[in-house]
Amino acid sequence: MADDKDVLRDVWYGRIPACFTLHQDEVTEREAEPYYLLLPRVSYLTLVTDKVKKHFLKVMRAEDVEEMWFEYEGTPLKWHYPIGVLFDLHGSNSILPWSITVHFKNFPERDLLHCLSNSVIEAHFMSSIKEADALKHKSQVVNDMQKKDHKQLWMGLQNDKFDQFWAINRKLMEYSTEDGGFRYIPFRIYQTTGERPFIQKLFRPLSAEGAVHTLGDLLREMYPAAVPQEGEEKRLLVVIHGIEPLLETPVQWLSEHLSHPDNFLHICVVPTPSD
Amino acid sequence: CLDIFSAEMSCLHLDEDSFFECCQHLLKKSEELRDGWSWETVQVRLRMQCKCTHVCKDDDADEGAVEINCPAAEGGSHLCFQFEFHVVFSSSYRTPVLYFRAFSLGKSLSLEDVWSFIQPKLRLTSQDALLNTITQQEHPLLGQAFFMLHPCKTQDFMRPVLQTAQQENRAVNYVLTWLSVVAPLVGLDVPLEYCSDLRPGSKPD
């Protein structure tokens, strides 16, 4: 369907305006101006912030500079989550532009993964794609691909080339009509509370009887509190790419259209804003 | 008890229940050997974790540590690292996955340090190959930074072991067999005693 193809483009070109400010404890030689950037939702912070780094390094001495990392209102931002997920999870109540604090020292070793080169991001991205394909096709599609296909997926993301990426990614989205969907849906449900960072389990797109599983079915099984009972006030929002999809939406459709380039459907469950 | 193991072998995969069974058996043995494995439950998911298994050469304190030649250490000296190993079940790959981290005097082991002691064992030459084998990852239950041995090849090296065992009608503890392959790569010792009394159903000595 033509309409559905547009969804892929809309998801790919989703942007979040952000304002980067240097943390007050960083030592500078002169005042550091904030830096504004439009962040692609489907990319990674460390992949798109070379300019931010350059901007702040201009006012800092080399000996004061260690690995750059980001924080929003006291929470270190995990670069290995897609930017859109970080925003939906931590920043969706914030006014725009999203205000991100930049650090060059005291790297939070426990909470953040080091990211000293783009090859680390590439390895992380490819390992997510492989895991997703293990769930969708028992790894058959990703293993049948050539090395250059893997490279093309990565280069497509790195250089923000929708067509380049999707020329290969569509193979990862295929399934036979008799199956009616993937083997399992690669998804993760994030929450800001709770000791575990996310929920990830096996979930099939169809029930044993062949009925289509919806987003509501997924949540009722994995995160019942996110689905309000009848007559109950809605306390939690279920957000994917900044929107609240209808709970009746089939998970197979969501997986094909609203997954991130890493092939996972990232679902954020956040409290309803209280004004 | 044996049924679980044959059922698990017939599909050459591990499911969460078999993982639990295998770990329980391993833990029983560990209790005898006192080498530090324990079972922890994080909400409904489970992980087996082991803190310290090796004893540093110069220091025979109770708390074990692994001495490694750490290029990052000042003057190229040896540092004693305290290792923490976790075995976590991956439902995506249906295999166990090894996570670990290591500290020494507040300094944590870097990926480059890890590579420097793993590289000779795996004979990997390119950085790409290393990045596909071992990287820093978020611990799926703790949300903290750990190193992870990538599970995508686990089934490949487990398959021949399981198939042979199946032909010979022999029970295999998937987790133990797997651990005996991956543990030496990261300097974790799995004593031979684990391999006696393999059958979870058999009587203790």
A204 and A170 inside one domain? yes
Contact B138 A134 (CB under 8 A): no
Q: Helix, strand or coil for residue A198?
A: strand
Q: What is the pLDDT of residue A2?
A: 52
The answer to whether residue A183 is domain-embedded is yes
Report the chain A residue with the minimal C-alpha distance to residue B107.
A109
Q: Which domain holds residue A43?
A: 14-103
Pair A62, A147 in one domain: no
* Separation in Å, CA of B33 to nearest CA in chain A: 31
Residue A220, pLDDT score: 96
- The reply to whether A87 and A137 lie within a common domain is no
The winner for highest mean pLDDT among A223-237, B60-74, B98-112, B113-127 is A223-237
Nearest by CB to A196, from B43, B150, B152: name it.
Answer: B43
d(CA A157, CA A50): 16
- Give the highest mean pLDDT range of A151-160, B29-38, B98-107: A151-160
Distance CA(A260)–CA(A190), nearest Å, equals 14
A80 contacts on B by Cβ (under 8 Å): 137-138
The CATH number covering residue A24 comes to 3.10.20.620
Query: Nearest residue on chain A to B108, judged by CA atoms?
Result: A109
Catalytic residue among B22, B23, B56, B152: B152
Nearest residue on chain A to B111, alpha-carbon basis: A114
3-class DSSP string for A33-69: CCEEEEEECCCCHHHCCHHHHHHHHCCCCHHHCCCCE
Q: What is the pLDDT of residue B41?
A: 67
- In our burial notation (b when 16+ CB lie closer than 10 A, e otherwise), range B49-83 reads bbebbbbbeeeeeeebbbbbebeeeeeeeebbbbb
pLDDT given at position A82: 98
pLDDT for residue B199 is more than 90: no
* A137 and A263 inside one domain: yes
Residue-range domain boundaries for chain B: 2-188
pLDDT at B104: 76
Task: Convert the pLDDT of each residue in A234-264 to its tens digit.
Answer: 889 999 999 999 999 999 999 999 999 999 9
Cα–Cα distance, A195 to B139 (Å, whole number): 12
Q: Is residue A175 a part of any domain in this protein? A: yes
Better pLDDT: B104 or A67: A67
Examine the domain organization and report whether A237 and A152 are in the same domain: yes
Classify domain B2-188 by CATH number.
Answer: 3.30.1460.50
In the predicted structure, residue B79 carries a pLDDT above the cut 80 = no
Looking only at the bridges linking them, the beta strands covering A15-22 and A98-103 are parallel
Contacts of B149 in chain A (CB under 8 A): none
B56 is catalytic: no
- B65 vs B56: CA distance, rounded Å: 5
Would residue A253 count as lying in a domain?
A: yes
Classified as helix, coil or strand, B15 is coil
For A9, residues 6+ apart whose C-beta sits below 8 A from its C-beta are A162
Strand partners, A37: A18
The minimum CA-CA distance between B156 and chain A, rounded to whole Å, is 12
pLDDT higher at B81 or A84: A84
Same domain, A241 and A176: yes
The total of structural domains in chain A comes to 2
Task: Answer with the one of A50, A74, A103 that is the final residue of a domain.
Answer: A103
Q: What is the pLDDT of residues A16-47, one digit of tens each?
A: 999 999 999 998 888 899 999 999 999 999 99
> Average pLDDT for residues B139-164, to the nearest whole number?
87
First-to-last alpha carbon distance for chain B, in angstroms, is 18
Whether A8 is covered by a domain: the verdict is: no
The nearest CA of chain B is from the CA of A127 a distance in Å of 8
Instruction: For residues A265 and A131, state if they share a domain.
Output: yes
Q: Are residues A132 and A267 in the same domain?
A: yes
Residue A250 inside a domain? The answer is: yes
Contact present, A258 and A185 (Cβ < 8 Å): no
Mean residue pLDDT of chain B comes to 71
At A253, which helix (H) or strand (E)? helix A251-257
Alpha carbon B97 to its chain centroid, in Å, reads 7
Please tell me whether residues A140 and A223 are part of one structural domain: yes
Do B150 and B51 touch, CB atoms closer than 8 A?
Answer: no
Asked if residue B53 has pLDDT above 50, the reply is no
* Residue A230 domain-assigned (yes or no): yes
Same domain membership, residue A176 and residue A89: no
> Which domain-ending residue is among A78, A103, A128?
A103
Residue A181 lies in a domain: yes
Q: What is the pLDDT of residues A168-209, one digit of tens each?
A: 999 999 999 888 999 999 999 999 877 789 999 999 999 999
Q: What mean pLDDT do residues B175-183 have? A: 87
Which pLDDT score is estimated for B51?
43
